[in-house]
Amino acid sequence: MSSRRSAGILLFRLRGGGLEILLAHPGGPFFGRGDAGNWSIPKGEPSPDEVDMEITARREFEEETGHRVPTGPLIDLGTVKQKGGKIVYAWAAEGDLDPAKTTSNTFSFEWPPFSGRMKTYPEIDRVEWFAPEEARRRIKEAQVPLLDRLEAALPDRPGNPGSPGGDGAAL
């Protein structure tokens, strides 16, 4: 089992009774043209001194979006294992942000390969809100269970028949 770990926050909002999910598109030269299957929750690896993965998730969300995680309870979404063996710890938070007002931390990378030239790229080049069906198409396959777990944790969201606020009124 890989010792590589990562932690992130799946931000969601309820609009007119519909669930929307914020996903991040990775920056850098390898993902510029890739779309379906390349998006992710904002996430990252713990610092050497971090043992609390929720703290890692909150820090990484802020570093990758330029926004703090909204106050309020988090929904523990558990973990998923990605293709390379990395374990992703995830929580969900209800909130809202304007994708046009996000800023990401950066990394340096030699590009083109063997050119000796270092270029700086944002860790994520954009974030967007998606309906669950579209989010499933765009997110990394290994992270799809996080979407399922979020929906299962929100059975009483507005717009669902028989739920409090089920008339679809906006929050």
Domain ranges of the chain: 5-153
Peptide bond into 161 cis (omega under 30): no
Q: Helix, strand, or coil here: 71?
A: coil
**Contacts of residue 149, Cβ cutoff 8 Å, sequence gap at least 6:** 77, 78
Kindly state the average pLDDT of the residues 41-63: 95
Burial class (CB in 10 A: 0-12, 13-18, 19+), 62: middle
pLDDT at 45 over 50: yes
How many Å apart are CA 62 and CA 60, to the nearest integer?
5
How many Å apart are CA 78 and CA 56, to the nearest integer?
14
Kindly state the average pLDDT of the residues 42-59: 95
In the chain, what percentage of residues exceed pLDDT 90? 68
- The larger pLDDT score, comparing residue 42 to residue 105, is at 42
pLDDT of residue 132: 97
> What tokens does 7 get?
């932690």
| R_g of the chain, CA atoms, integer Å | 17
Please tell me the least confidently modeled range out of 9-13, 17-21, 31-35: 31-35
Q: Which amino acid is at 8?
A: G
60 phi/psi in degrees, rounded to 5: -65, -40
pLDDT at 2 over 70: no
Residue 130 Cα distances to 72, 119, 123, 126, angstroms: 22, 30, 20, 13
Q: How far is CA 169 from the centre of its chain?
A: 26
The domain made up of 5-153 is a member of CATH 3.90.79.10: yes
The answer to whether the CB of 31 falls within 8 A of the CB of 123 is no
